[in-house]
Amino acid sequence: MSQLDPTLMFDKARAAQYDSQFARANAFRDVIHLVTDLAFASLPNDARILVVGAGTGSEIIALAARHSSWHFTAVDPAGAMLEVFREKAIAAGILDRCTIHVGYIETLADLPLHDAATSLLVSHFLQTDASRGAFFAEIAARLKPGALLVNADLAADMTEKISARLYATWEQMLRETGADAAGLDNYRAGFGKDFAVHTPAAVEALIENNGFERPSPVLQTLLMRTWLTAKT
Ligand SMILES: C[S@@+](CC[C@H](N)C(=O)[O-])C[C@H]1O[C@@H](n2cnc3c(N)ncnc32)[C@H](O)[C@@H]1O
How many CB atoms within 10 Å of residue 147? Answer: 23
The reply to whether 166 falls in a domain is no
- Cβ neighbours for 77, distance < 8 A, ≥ 6 positions apart: 6, 7, 102, 103, 104
Residue nearest to atom 14 of ligand 1 (CA): 53
Strand order in the sheet with 98-102: 98-102, 71-76, 48-52, 114-120, 143-154, 224-230, 216-221
Backbone angles phi, psi at 39, to 5 degrees: -65, -30
Contact 89, 57 (CB under 8 A): yes
Nearest-atom number in ligand 1 for the CA of 152 is: 8
Residue 43 lies in a domain: yes
For atom 4 of ligand 1, which residue has the closest CA?
Answer: 55
The answer to the question of residue 103 being in a domain is: yes
Q: Has residue 73 been placed in a domain?
A: yes
| Interstrand relation of 143-154 and 224-230 (parallel, antiparallel or unpaired) | antiparallel
Residue nearest to atom 1 of ligand 1 (CA): 121
* Contacts for 152 with CB less than 8 Å, ≥ 6 apart: 32, 119, 120, 121, 219, 224, 225, 226, 227
The closest-lying atom of ligand 1 relative to the alpha carbon of residue 1 is 19
Q: For residue 1, what pLDDT is reported?
A: 59
Nearest C-alpha to atom 12 of ligand 1 is from which residue?
A: 53
Full residue range of the structural domain in which residue 142 is found: 6-155+195-230
Rounded CA-CA distance 165/171 in Å is 10
Q: Which of 122, 123, 136 to mutate to test the pocket of ligand 1 (most atoms within 8 A of CB)?
A: 122
pLDDT along the chain (232 residues), means of 10: 90 97 95 98 98 98 98 98 98 98 95 97 96 98 98 94 91 96 96 94 98 98 97 98
168 assigned to some structural domain:
no
* Ligand 1: nearest atom to the Cα of 122: 12
In this structure, what CATH number is given to the domain that contains residue 214? 3.40.50.150
Q: Is the CB of 10 under 6 A from ligand 1?
A: yes
Q: With a threshold of 0.85, does the pTM exceed it? A: yes
At 161 the pLDDT is 82
DSSP H or E segment with residue 115 = strand 114-120
Amino acid at residue number 40 = F
Task: Give the number of domains in the chain.
Answer: 1
CB of 57 sitting under 6 A from ligand 1: no
Ligand 1 mean position to 53 CA, how many Å? 3
Dihedral of alpha carbons 179, 203, 47, 51, sign = negative
Atom number of ligand 1 nearest to Cα 32: 8
Distance CA 208, CA 191 (A): 25
